[in-house]
Amino acid sequence: MRTVTIVGASLAGLHAARELRAQGFDGRLVIVGEEPHHPYDRPPLSKDFLTGRADESRLALTDADETAGLDAEWLLGVRARGLDTRGRTVVLDDGRTVSTDGVVIATGAAARRLPGDSPAGIHTLRTLDDARALRADLSRGPRRVVVIGGGFIGAETASSCARLGHEVTVVEAAPLPLVPQLGAPMAAVCAALHRRGGVELVTGTGVAGLRGTTAVTGVDLTDGRALPADLVIVGIGAVPNTAWLAGSTLALHDGVLCDDGCVTALPQVVAVGDVARVGGARTEHWTSATEQPRVAVTNLLAGHTRTTARPLPYFWSDQYDSRIQFAGRYREGDTVQVTEGEITDDGAPGESGFLARYERDGRTVAVLGVDRPRAFMRARRELQRAEGERGERAAAPAAL
Ligand SMILES: NC(=O)c1ccc[n+]([C@@H]2O[C@H](COP(=O)([O-])OP(=O)(O)OC[C@H]3O[C@@H](n4cnc5c(N)ncnc54)[C@H](O)[C@@H]3O)[C@@H](O)[C@H]2O)c1
């Protein structure tokens, strides 16, 4: 393999570049990125960057020394428009083409938008440029902010806006926020965090439309209510960036389909990060974007799936003054129990937080920690160990 092209210059793309060099690839390395920036860290965008506690210099994921060491050609500020898998060419929006032997798809996902035209004052938050625009708009004095969607972006931006002194309402279509991720009992804790943080949470209703012609003035809800607003943040999920692959032979279905080793139907094309559906699941977590590239690059360089990985999913979220950490795989029907600390009468975490365990068929399948980082890390390690042992037992030949 003489040339490898990584399409997508964010966390997963950067980790793929690091892995390629670490695993001995000494050929030509091209990194294509739609955004004009070198890779930066997205988690602070909805938290410390929005509240002004972190400036842009704290976001960089790499520095001049590392980029020199990677010896890559960075094509930034340009989108890939197509992948010709037969001709082994990546086609760029500006007409350029890159001939390549191997491809790492790391194009991530884009913020889902509400249909129709948006008046001024409507924001999504995914990129540094989005965060700059939102921060600038918020800095124009106290505003009435409506956040649409009570997922991660919704909850984190709502708590940042409340901390900045804005009047905030969150609109969530489901009866509780974060149920798919945490299940109803623990989702209720997140709802209590909103209440404790002074944010109104309106659930079980969607958005019928936005008011305002040049600038937004309000949000009409499907239950007939109208909320006045000077600024609206839309956090209603993310869509994997696969449109550029439509003409390729790759299988696409809510992401790029790959096996457990991040390999697509073509051994010279692998996918990592938010865009990759690995072994049937797409995990939009920071840790997946840092773990998948090692496996993907090993297999890309081997020319076949030599190794697979099913790391235990992990995510964290900072909401109001609480840190929520979750590891494992939650499924509807799992039971959940607080095993350390407590949930108070108002439904929010007690002063020293709590640890909860999710059980299925008599075994722990996931752990949740709220403001209990040490206990959580211990429980996460135990779960990792148990999962690893289960995996080994499943892979071992049956005893005679
Ligand atoms: N801490 C973290 O791990 C973190 C933080 C920020 C973002 N992210 C990632 O960013 C991505 C986007 O985050 P997100 O919060 O937008 O997505 P999400 O899927 O976490 O939440 C979207 C929420 O919007 C609700 N919703 C959808 N349509 C709606 C409508 N019309 N009206 C009201 N509610 C509606 C859904 O019910 C859901 O609760 C995700 O991939 C997420 O994993 C992760």
Q: From ligand 1's centre to the CA of 234, what distance in Å?
A: 9
Does residue 247 sit in helix, strand or coil? coil
The mean per-residue pLDDT over the stretch 75-79 comes to 98
Residue 358 tokens read as 């999710």
| Sequence-separated (6 or more) residues with CB below 8 Å from residue 376 | 325, 327, 355, 367, 368, 369
pLDDT at 39 over 80: yes
d(CA 259, CA 279): 5
d(CA 54, CA 316): 18
Decide whether any atom of ligand 1 lies within 6 Å of the 154 Cβ: yes
Output the pTM of the full model: 0.94
Decide whether any atom of ligand 1 lies within 6 Å of the 204 Cβ: no
Determine which residue's CA is closest to atom 30 belonging to ligand 1: 206
Determine which residue's CA is closest to atom 20 belonging to ligand 1: 151
Q: Calculate the CA 214 to chain-centre distance.
A: 32
pLDDT at 400 over 50: no
Q: Which of 97, 32, 60, 27 is nearest to 297 (CA)?
A: 27
pLDDT at 390: 76
Q: From ligand 1's centre to the CA of 295, what distance in Å?
A: 28
HSE value, Cβ hemisphere, 13 Å, CA-based, for 196: 18
Q: From ligand 1's centre to the CA of 177, what distance in Å?
A: 9
pLDDT at 383 over 90: yes
pLDDT at 68: 93
Identify the band that residue 382 occupies on the pLDDT scale cut at 50, 70 and 90: very high
Decide whether any atom of ligand 1 lies within 6 Å of the 180 Cβ: no
Decide whether any atom of ligand 1 lies within 6 Å of the 174 Cβ: yes
d(CA 98, CA 28): 11
Determine which residue's CA is closest to atom 14 belonging to ligand 1: 237
d(CA 117, CA 96): 32
The mean per-residue pLDDT over the stretch 194-213 comes to 96
HSE value, Cβ hemisphere, 13 Å, CA-based, for 180: 7
| Sequence-separated (6 or more) residues with CB below 8 Å from residue 88 | 99, 100, 101, 268
Q: From ligand 1's centre to the CA of 238, what distance in Å?
A: 7
Report ipTM for this prediction.
Answer: 0.94
Burial (Cβ within 10 Å: 0-12, 13-18, ≥19) of residue 289: buried
The mean per-residue pLDDT over the stretch 329-356 comes to 96
Between the alpha carbon of residue 91 and those of residues 48, 204, 244, the distances in Å are: 37, 44, 9
Determine which residue's CA is closest to atom 28 belonging to ligand 1: 236
d(CA 26, CA 382): 38
Choice among 248-257, 323-332, 391-400 with the minimum mean pLDDT: 391-400
To test ligand 1's pocket by mutation, which of 114, 134, 147, 153 has the most ligand atoms within 8 angstroms of CB? Answer: 153
At 200, the amino acid letter reads E
